[in-house]
Amino acid sequence: GNSVTQMEGPVTLSEEAFLTINCTYTATGYPSLFWYVQYPGEGLQLLLKATKADDKGSNKGFEATYRKETTSFHLEKGSVQVSDSAVYFCALSDQNYGGATNKLIFGTGTLLAVQP
């Protein structure tokens, strides 16, 4: 079945450092890919998305490119801030279901801690 694998955390960085969080997926068909962020005590917020191969999603300085050849969707940011400290989830749309669905399959999440 479809699945998402994320790099283990926590990831600890100093402010203004470069961030990469790796995400790879296994899927049949052409799923849409998403990054969500969860701040302490809150629900998930959509950070960015890509719906087809070579698409680049971007938002708030974060970027991720849909790479079908490597089945990857790595999250990057050039200069992190303390306020970026949160848990980041990679997800894909479940194409295995026999009909239309908005179900997402999530990775395990990566905790990012940014120190001043």
Partner 1 sequence: KAGVTQTPRYLIKTRGQQVTLSCSPISGHRSVSWYQQTPGQGLQFLFEYFSETQRNKGNFPGRFSGRQFSNSRSEMNVSTLELGDSALYLCASSREGGYNEQFFGPGTRLTVL
Report the interface residues with partner 1, using CB under 8 A: 31-32, 34, 36, 42-46, 49, 51, 89, 93-95, 97, 99-109
> Least Å distance between CB 116 and partner 1?
27
> Least Å distance between CB 56 and partner 1?
16
Which residue, 55 or 94, is less far from partner 1 as judged by CB?
94
> Least Å distance between CB 86 and partner 1?
14
Which residue, 23 or 105, is less far from partner 1 as judged by CB?
105
Half-sphere exposure of 17 (CA within 13 A, CB side): 16
> Least Å distance between CB 113 and partner 1?
17
Q: CA–CA separation, 108 vs 99, rounded Å?
A: 26
Q: CA–CA separation, 16 vs 58, rounded Å?
A: 18
Which residue, 21 or 107, is less far from partner 1 as judged by CB?
107
Exposure string for 7-44, b = 16+ CB within 10 A, e = fewer: beeebebeeeeebebebbbebeeebbbbbbbeeeeeeb
Contact 37, 27 (CB under 8 A): no
Which residue, 31 or 114, is less far from partner 1 as judged by CB?
31
